[in-house]
Amino acid sequence: MILSVVIPAKNEKENVKPLVYEIVAALMDVIAFEIVYVDDGSEDGTYAELLALVDEGITELKPIQHQYSVGQSAGIYTGVSNAKGDLIVTLDADGQNDPADISQLLFEAQKLPLGADFCIAGYRKDRKDTKWKRFQSKIANRVRSKLLHDNTPDTGCSLKIFPRKTFLKLPYFDHMHRFLPALVKRLNGKIVVVEVNHRDRQFGVSKYNMLGRLGVGLIDMVGVIWLQRRNKLAVIVHPDD
């Protein structure tokens, strides 16, 4: 089995090298893997930094570049579409997700039946963000959980593992990455939550703000509710031989 680590990145040049080294160290003796790093139209030399790491001999690294920025969900979609692994793990490019936690999620994924649809979602119980940002997320998660019933206390945590085939079944739209557990549950998939570490950002700045999250979040949530209500799953009956 191959695990594809998919990382969408925009203007994260300084975080590239330490994060790639951490991923390699965390997975080298655990599973065969690749790192699909999608540069989403960065302007700070992120892609050049990725190419330099390939030249240094990081053979597991597979850089992809968008001509211009199209967003995190598009970056994830590009990464998954170009991945060769049966399992996908996603994490943020800012270094706040801890690659050492991938093994915990992988352990839970390997308990599930072969061919099952599922999402193993990280839960940042002890978040290293400002009080204001934690407050925003707390409110957003409560509203989302109440409306979507996705069984996930922290859907904003990018650290998740799911089958590639499951992701490719999902309806694609901008900002879909915020609703992966709800979309997988819509397929009657299994949702498992695992507590994970969360770290301070060392370099760069956050790409999101309260108004941006709120605006797209409410609109997209209505869309996901519509998808849930219009969903019908057929059950095939096999006649006795």
Q: How many domains does the chain have?
A: 1
pTM: 0.83
> Which pLDDT band, with edges at 50, 70 and 90, does 211 fall under?
very low
Task: Say if residues 141 and 127 touch (Cβ distance below 8 Å).
Answer: no
What distance in Å separates the CA atoms of residue 68 and residue 197, rounded to the nearest whole number?
Answer: 32
CATH of the domain at 176: 3.90.550.10
In a domain, 234, yes or no: no
Residues 6+ apart with CB under 8 A from 15: 9, 93, 94, 95, 202, 203, 204
> Which pLDDT band, with edges at 50, 70 and 90, does 144 fall under?
low
Task: Say if residues 108 and 26 touch (Cβ distance below 8 Å).
Answer: no
Q: What is the reported pLDDT for 174?
A: 86
Q: What is the reported pLDDT for 234?
A: 65
First to last CA, the chain: 35
In a domain, 64, yes or no: yes
Q: What is the reported pLDDT for 131?
A: 66
In the predicted structure, residue 188 carries a pLDDT above the cut 80: yes
In a domain, 240, yes or no: no
Angle between helix 13-27 and 46-55 (nearest 10): 40
Give the tokens for residue 5: 């680590």
Cα dihedral 65, 211, 195, 116 sign: negative
The single residue listed with the structure tokens 């409560």 is 142
Residues, the chain: 241
In a domain, 237, yes or no: no
Structural domain for 106, as ranges: 2-229
* Range 204-229 average pLDDT: 61
Of 4 and 142, the one with more pLDDT: 4
Share of the chain above pLDDT 70, in %: 76
In a domain, 235, yes or no: no
Greatest mean pLDDT among 43-47, 143-147, 149-153, 231-235: 43-47
Element (H, E) at 228: helix 210-229
In a domain, 241, yes or no: no
The single residue listed with the structure tokens 């936690």 is 101
